[in-house]
Structure 1
Amino acid sequence: MKLYVIVSLWALVTITHQIKTQDNCVCEFISSEKPFPYDKLKMMQDSASNCNNLMSPQKAFGLESLLLGLNRRLPQLEDDVEMLEKEDDGELYGVLSLYVIENELTEIQAMIDKLNSSTSEHKRLGDDTAQKLEDVKEKMEELETFDAMQVMKKQQANQRLKRDLDQCRNGGLHPRPQPTKHTEGTCPHGRFLNVTGPRVFTTGEYPGSYKYGAWGRDPKPEEGKESWHWLVMLTSSNIYAHYVRFYSTLSSIIVGVSTPGNVLIHPSNPTTNTIQGPNVVLYGGALYYNCYNKDAVCRFNLTTKSITTLQLPKGTRYNSKANFCHLDECYVFTDLDLITDESGVWVVYTTNQDFGNLVLSKVEEEENQLLSLGQTWRTSFPKSSVTNTFMVCGVLYATRYVDKNLEEIFYSFDTTTGKENLNVGIFIDKMSPNILSLNYSPLDQMLYAYCDSKLVSYEVLFEKRSNFYL
């Protein structure tokens, strides 16, 4: 028998007594090592998870959105006060201007109150989280004493080495794949390079309500409505809507003060020619959307309250038979996607004849205000493998779901050259797992996303873009 085995065993245990019987020998062993406290480890894991939930990026971006709204609203108030000083004749114009300024002050005060409340809440959360992290650190240091073989220390060292190696390979602290190929379409802003942000993140008036919807700005606004923002929420079964809601400024939509309010399409919801699905856009003072229970595009004129319909080609799939999807979920009633760019309104859909592949058509307005289907392009990529589409300067872009934090703009179709690109490689940081509608506004070169009831916007970066933001 090998002696060193006996010595090692003797070092770990103590023989307290022996009882001899006729058939066997019984020994009682007492370990010199303390039992590992698995309950404490589980407690630390729960505490760390709670810290992550408390200090989520959504809370930080909410505060940033409020600051952005104030930054824009205060100069506007100064301009209105200067205008009042110039036109003040003690009569009608002065009274109207005072009324406008009074409303602006009310909205700004609401933003300041919300900002103060958010700041206090963030400070409290920061203090609580700091204390919890300190407690977690102390407990983890206590747990490290059980690592007699220093296995965890070696694993931590290996993880640090691996992280440093990845940073060296990618050339930065936060590596992100860069676009590998640019489309060849012509654009006054230059090439589409990247998407940054979110620039705005808000829960709006109804936090957590109405998962599906859309929001944005009119790329061709009517006079006096240049700063207006619109919102459509699918208020019936997450499928249907019968009104569009307006906000006079970005700060109004952030704090949830709707002025001038709702414009009703029809008193009933749903019914003939009301909204079906979240892929809605506003252009030239009219709302474009998928008509209720039809393979057709509806245009609702906000001034005349009239509705014009555009029948899509025979075989067009509708009523949730050709949705945007990813591996885990399909976004219901997203058969038709209405989108805008510098040239107007487009519709993305698919037909039985195209075997489910993306089809893109230009929506044209005739002199008699009727709608017609303009030039149509057919692609080779299936619509069900896409989560959203949008247009920029005549180029169709499609996104796909990467994970709950990341969306990728991976595909493009250039209507000028007819070329497809499956390797765009632009990534969007998400504030919620699902982007349920996405649209580009050439008015301010922003992407407007509706994400699980949250309103989010992103800045589109171009090669020649001047650095302004309306």
Structure 2
Amino acid sequence: MKLYVIVPLCALITFTQQAPSRDKCVCEFTNSERPFPHDKLSAAEDNASRCNTNITPQKTLELESLLLGLERRLPRLQEDVSILEREDDGELYGVISLQVIENELLEIMQLMDKLNSTTLEHQHLTTNATKQLEDLKAEMDELETFDTMQVVKRQRENQLLKSNLTKCRDKRPTMQPSQPPYGNCPRGQFRNITGPWKFIEGEYPGSHKYGAWGRDPKPEAGKESWHWLVMLTSGNKYSNYVRLYSSLSALIVGQSTPGNVEISPSNPTDNTIQGPNVVMYRGALYYNCYNQDEVCRFNLTSKTVTNIKLPKGTRYNSKGNFCHLEKCYPFTDLDLATDESGIWVIYTTNQDFGNLVLSKLEDDEQFRLGQTWHTSVNKQGVTNTFMVCGVLYATRFIDKETEEIFYSFDTTTGVERLNLGIFIKKMYPNILSLNYSPVDQMLHAYCDSYMVSYKVLFS
């Protein structure tokens, strides 16, 4: 008896006829394709994952921040040297200016060292990444030879087709957006902060835990370099004066001119300061009036106080504080802020169930409350707020070394963001007030009786 085996032709497999036995038929299966190297694919995936871990957008941002910091610091140093050359009397102010210049030179050298080390690190990273990418490309080219059905090639052609289709759609005329971009800032969007750049103990190091300091964004003529300081002196709750300094150098060494400008001879009393969230604008001090749901404006020239009442239901007298999980900061119900566009007040009301409320203060002769915005973030989950270019930013406590700028609200578009992820390196655990200065784009923080400043970076 003869046995006939009919086998279809196939490119991938072949059959070999065996000598038949009397009881059964056996066929041998042979795969003509090479076995796929799964170990090489796994190794390539691991290498690509490590490459993605080593090269991140944050590394580029770090280098950009260092370059921008150096670009901003060098003109400032040149300006300080020029001032020293003009005012050098060989005595007190010359020594003070030299000390400031020496500190700035030291900071610039540290910045350059950091820049050099970061650049060298990036060069090594680039060299290693280039070699890894070349190796990965060679491995993937080899692995692609196993794709006899050309699936990868077809996928690549489809991706190219989709890309060309997207470009074709983008060339069609489109309507301009009805809303302007995020914020309204001539320098671009707020991206990050660096520092701390300055750390000042002041005249009373370790004393007056609560307070605020900064610069007037719209100073009177001749007072462009002046700095102001408010320290809460009565149980870290109240104050009745503001202290002025003719320059940063004077603030560093504690030479106050003209000294204390009193709002009232007694403390606390009507129209004196309650809480640390204080700002100065156009020669006037803005703050929470003592025992009132009102904002006070104290004119330093005329020594007069003007009040404006906030909406009904505004929380005050330490009923609407900034907080974190471990504590609340007393008498921080009202937070005053300045930016490029003017002066603002941040607070909360019973009607808003504790959520942040933002109002513009119109500082004309009438001193009135302007437009108001309502947000969705609760004030007790916030430790501080500040304004930059019409955008409200809020911070929260991470740990004793770190504060996070996590939230923003754009008054132009009404857009809220809850995932900013901009971190502040703290010198002391608590930031008790935070003021942005559009004059020099610095963020001035008052931290447990010490004054610290950070540089704001824009895109």
Work out whether 1:340 is the aligned partner of 2:347.
no
Task: Supply the distance in 1 between the matched residues of 2:363 and 2:100 (Cα, whole angstroms).
Answer: 40
1:200-259: CA deviations, max 9, x gaps? 011111110000000000000110000001000001110001111111111111122222
Task: Supply the distance in 1 between the matched residues of 2:363 and 2:415 (Cα, whole angstroms).
Answer: 27
> 1:358: which partner in 2?
356
Compute the displacement of 1:105 (Å). Answer: 2.8
1:77 to 67, 79, 84: 84
From the superposition, tell whether residues 342 and 111 of structure 1 become closer, same or farther in structure 2 (CA, over 3 Å).
Answer: closer
> 2:135: which partner in 1?
none
Compute the displacement of 1:78 (Å). Answer: 1.0
Which aligned pairs between 1:320-335 and structure 2 lie closer than 5 A? Answer: 320-335=318-333
SS across alignment from 1:75: helix
Task: Supply the distance in 1 between the matched residues of 2:341 and 2:315 (Cα, whole angstroms).
Answer: 26
> 1:246: which partner in 2?
244
1:383 to 376, 379, 394: 379
Work out whether 1:284 is the aligned partner of 2:254.
no
Compute the displacement of 1:271 (Å). Answer: 0.5
1:454 to 450, 455, 458: 450
Aligned residues of 1:242 and 1:264 also touching (Cα < 8 A): yes
Q: TM-score w.r.t. structure 1 length?
A: 0.63
> 1:266: which partner in 2?
264
SS across alignment from 2:362: strand
Worse overlay, 185-194 or 406-415: 185-194
SS across alignment from 1:339: strand
Aligned residues of 1:73 and 1:251 also touching (Cα < 8 A): no
From the superposition, tell whether residues 261 and 70 of structure 1 become closer, same or farther in structure 2 (CA, over 3 Å).
Answer: farther
1:105 to 94, 103, 112: 94
Structure 1: which 5+ runs fail to align? 1-67, 82-97, 119-167, 169-182, 464-470
Task: Supply the distance in 2 between the matched residues of 1:235 and 1:250 (Cα, whole angstroms).
Answer: 22
1:29-77: CA deviations, max 9, x gaps? xxxxxxxxxxxxxxxxxxxxxxxxxxxxxxxxxxxxxxx9998644312
From the superposition, tell whether residues 461 and 320 of structure 1 become closer, same or farther in structure 2 (CA, over 3 Å).
Answer: same
Q: Partner letter of residue 392 of structure 1?
A: V
Work out whether 1:219 is the aligned partner of 2:178.
no
Task: Supply the distance in 1 between the matched residues of 2:332 and 2:409 (Cα, whole angstroms).
Answer: 20
Task: Supply the distance in 1 between the matched residues of 2:339 and 2:238 (Cα, whole angstroms).
Answer: 25
Q: Partner letter of residue 341 of structure 2?
A: S
> 2:110: which partner in 1?
none
Task: Supply the distance in 2 between the matched residues of 1:395 and 1:422 (Cα, whole angstroms).
Answer: 13
Which aligned pairs between 1:114-125 and structure 2 lie closer than 5 A? Answer: none
Aligned residues of 2:402 and 2:424 also touching (Cα < 8 A): yes
From the superposition, tell whether residues 406 and 372 of structure 1 become closer, same or farther in structure 2 (CA, over 3 Å).
Answer: same
> 1:203: which partner in 2?
201
Task: Supply the distance in 2 between the matched residues of 1:251 and 1:69 (Cα, whole angstroms).
Answer: 14
Task: Supply the distance in 1 between the matched residues of 2:377 and 2:215 (Cα, whole angstroms).
Answer: 29
Aligned residues of 1:70 and 1:251 also touching (Cα < 8 A): no
Work out whether 1:428 is the aligned partner of 2:435.
no
Structure 2: which 5+ runs fail to align? 1-74, 107-128, 130-180
Q: TM-score w.r.t. structure 2 length?
A: 0.65
Compute the displacement of 1:425 (Å). Answer: 0.8
Work out whether 1:394 is the aligned partner of 2:390.
yes
> 1:37: which partner in 2?
none
From the superposition, tell whether residues 74 and 259 of structure 1 become closer, same or farther in structure 2 (CA, over 3 Å).
Answer: farther
Compute the displacement of 1:370 (Å). Answer: 2.4
> 1:296: which partner in 2?
294
Q: Partner letter of residue 206 of structure 1?
A: Y
Compute the displacement of 1:329 (Å). Answer: 0.8
Aligned residues of 1:277 and 1:290 also touching (Cα < 8 A): yes
Task: Supply the distance in 1 between the matched residues of 2:383 and 2:443 (Cα, whole angstroms).
Answer: 15
Aligned residues of 2:383 and 2:394 also touching (Cα < 8 A): yes
Q: Partner letter of residue 347 of structure 1?
A: V
Larger Rg, first or second structure (1 or 2): 2
Which aligned pairs between 1:158-237 and structure 2 lie closer than 5 A? Answer: 184-237=182-235
Identity of aligned residues (%): 69
Task: Supply the distance in 2 between the matched residues of 1:262 and 1:411 (Cα, whole angstroms).
Answer: 36
Q: Partner letter of residue 229 of structure 1?
A: H
Aligned residues of 1:214 and 1:437 also touching (Cα < 8 A): yes
From the superposition, tell whether residues 110 and 336 of structure 1 become closer, same or farther in structure 2 (CA, over 3 Å).
Answer: same
Aligned residues of 2:87 and 2:94 also touching (Cα < 8 A): no
Task: Supply the distance in 2 between the matched residues of 1:401 and 1:436 (Cα, whole angstroms).
Answer: 11
Q: Partner letter of residue 457 of structure 2?
A: L
SS across alignment from 1:293: coil
1:392-428: CA deviations, max 9, x gaps? 0000000000000000000000001101100011001
Task: Supply the distance in 2 between the matched residues of 1:400 and 1:254 (Cα, whole angstroms).
Answer: 29
> 1:28: which partner in 2?
none
From the superposition, tell whether residues 70 and 236 of structure 1 become closer, same or farther in structure 2 (CA, over 3 Å).
Answer: farther
SS across alignment from 2:345: strand
Task: Supply the distance in 2 between the matched residues of 1:412 and 1:445 (Cα, whole angstroms).
Answer: 18
Task: Supply the distance in 1 between the matched residues of 2:457 and 2:84 (Cα, whole angstroms).
Answer: 29
Compute the displacement of 1:108 (Å). Answer: 4.0
Task: Supply the distance in 2 between the matched residues of 1:417 and 1:102 (Cα, whole angstroms).
Answer: 54
SS across alignment from 2:251: helix
Q: Partner letter of residue 393 of structure 1?
A: C
Q: For this pair of structures, how many residues does the alignment match?
A: 313
Work out whether 1:443 is the aligned partner of 2:439.
yes
Task: Supply the distance in 2 between the matched residues of 1:443 and 1:70 (Cα, whole angstroms).
Answer: 17
Which aligned pairs between 1:17-56 and structure 2 lie closer than 5 A? Answer: none
Task: Supply the distance in 2 between the matched residues of 1:109 and 1:332 (Cα, whole angstroms).
Answer: 40
> 2:414: which partner in 1?
418
Q: Partner letter of residue 201 of structure 1?
A: F
